[in-house]
Amino acid sequence: MNPRPATLSNFRNLLDRASIGNEMLALAGELFPICRSISGEGLRQTLARLSEAIPLATREVKSGTQVLDWTVPKEWNIRDAYVKDCSGRRVIDFQKNNLHVVNYSAPVRTRMTLGELLPRLHSLPERPDWIPYRTSYYAEDWGFCLSHRQLQSLTEGEYEVVIDSTLEDGAITYGECLLPGQSEDEFLISTHVCHPSLANDNLSGVAVAATLARALAPLPRRYSYRFLFVPGTIGAISWLDRNQSSVAMLKHGLVLACVGDRGNLNYKRSRRGNADIDRAVAHVLKTKGSPFAIRDFSPYGYDERQYCSPGFNLPVGSFRRTPHGEYPEYHSSADNLEFLSADHLADSLATLLEVIDLLENDLRFVNLSPMGEPQLGRRGLVSSLGGRAAKDDHLAMLWVLNLSDGTKSVLDIAEQYGLYVDAIRRAIDALMAARLLDRLNTEAPLPRTLMAHA
Ligand code: ZN
């Protein structure tokens, strides 16, 4: 990411998508083998790796702590798990794939017949080569997951069943990275970090969020950025519980998940439906020129469920490509590193940077020559060469001049005008240089000529 550009706009313009996409893929690859869960050493190890790249504080909430309506569960750790047949061969082996054990399985050491074991085995008959991902966080249970072909190959007989796990008082862990800006108003980026060897859900979100934090860290910022890497549900609930008094600082937020598959971008609005974050993402998607979808809020999905619960009702949308559960590989061993695409990770990151750039620059301006149209040609602001780009720039200046009556922000202008935000920024820069436009000073009254109309 060197040399470091001085502004976010420069950073975006210089972004080498191929290399940053491959960096994100490499980070996901490094984290992929770790057996994560909503607590335990795999989660801590993952956060420790992220803290090498970004200033990440690790927080722990003790088992048994009441957080909002939930209780923090016991901490889960696992060393090994297997099912051995009578010849001593591991027919199901956690060491080969950590999805083989139901995440949060209680410790087990026993022998049982195939008939006794079968109710504990989970497979996907419709996808016979894939191992499903199952969890049992809040009810003590145990089980194994395996491909349907593997299940069908098991013969009658006695099996040795071992899950070398612990379920003890400890803590859940989450990571928090705050990048202070000029303002204490915050932009929240939250992603879950509790899935074991699964790539799109959730390492794509982890890789994109960490890379976004690393990109923003050296750049000047108006907003403060808070990145949360939380175990799903209980992590977000714990953070909200501990930060109830300060969530009002949160002006924009996005939950990132499933951002590395080859599907189109798909945005789920916040519960508010028309928050600035909803408008900014919609505007960027509409002007990007690639297919996309926007959906209304629903109380089903990732941690937007918590941030958008009615007591908080925060302006937090959900940014994803193919939504969870809408691709067959979801929650199975087929959601692996090959399912991720460096190009699509980079596209997700670039889109987020554009949304952030838009909101960072969502300021109000005033036209300093509002009586009639100022003569742009005399000031060298209209290209005599003509052409499409010059026409677009001219049109952008007319829109900015016309709408800059002190009541409309850049986002309002972008929405009304329907063009790429960079064109608006170019127009603003040119008009400010020509002293036809100025930042609205919220402390001072509007220019006399505009007061009557604002
Ligand atoms: Zn999931």
For residue 201, how far is its CA from the centre of ligand 1 (angstroms)? 5
Residue pointed to by tokens 């009586």? 371
For residue 279, how far is its CA from the centre of ligand 1 (angstroms)? 27
Residue pointed to by tokens 């109710």? 119
327: left (phi over 0), alpha (psi -120 to 50) or beta: beta
Q: Domain 8-72+174-360 belongs to what topology?
A: Aminopeptidase (3.40.630)
Domain 364-453 sits in CATH 3.30.930.10: no
For residue 326, how far is its CA from the centre of ligand 1 (angstroms)? 12
Beta strands, E only, 103-143: 108-113, 121-122
* Residue 108 φ then ψ, to 5°: -145, 140
Q: Domain 81-168 belongs to what topology?
A: Glucose Oxidase; domain 1 (3.50.30)
Whole-number pLDDT of residue 454: 45
Collapsing DSSP to helix, strand or coil, 307 comes out as helix
CA distance 136 to 140: 7
Nearest of 208, 170, 164, 228 to residue 31 by alpha carbon: 208
Whole-number pLDDT of residue 449: 55
For residue 202, how far is its CA from the centre of ligand 1 (angstroms)? 7
- If 0-12 CB within 10 Å is exposed, 13-18 middle and 19+ buried, where does residue 270 land? buried
For residue 334, how far is its CA from the centre of ligand 1 (angstroms)? 13
Whole-number pLDDT of residue 382: 85
CA distance 355 to 282: 9
Domain ranges of the chain: 8-72+174-360, 81-168, 364-453
**Ligand 1 ion local residues (Cβ < 5 A):** 201
For residue 338, how far is its CA from the centre of ligand 1 (angstroms)? 17
User: What burial letters (b/e) apply to 111-127, b meaning 16+ CB within 10 Å?
Assistant: eeeeeebeebbbbbeeb
- Whether 281 contacts 320, CB under 8 Å: no
Amino acid in the structure at residue 371: M
CA distance 136 to 125: 21
Half-sphere exposure of 260 (CA within 13 A, CB side): 32
- Common-topology check for domains 8-72+174-360 and 364-453: no
Between strands 437-439 and 364-367, the pairing is: antiparallel
For residue 426, how far is its CA from the centre of ligand 1 (angstroms)? 41
For residue 223, how far is its CA from the centre of ligand 1 (angstroms)? 30
Beta strands, E only, 249-355: 250-256, 265-268, 292-295, 316-320
Collapsing DSSP to helix, strand or coil, 203 comes out as helix
* Residues in contact with 131: Cβ distance below 8 Å, sequence separation at least 6, in sequence order: 97, 99, 100, 123, 124, 145, 146, 147, 332, 333
Distance (Å) of CA 1 to CA 4, 11, 34, 133, 408: 7, 9, 26, 35, 35
For residue 257, how far is its CA from the centre of ligand 1 (angstroms)? 9
For residue 178, how far is its CA from the centre of ligand 1 (angstroms)? 25
* Low-confidence residues in the chain, pLDDT < 50: 1, 452, 454
Whole-number pLDDT of residue 6: 85
For residue 357, how far is its CA from the centre of ligand 1 (angstroms)? 29
CA distance 225 to 79: 36
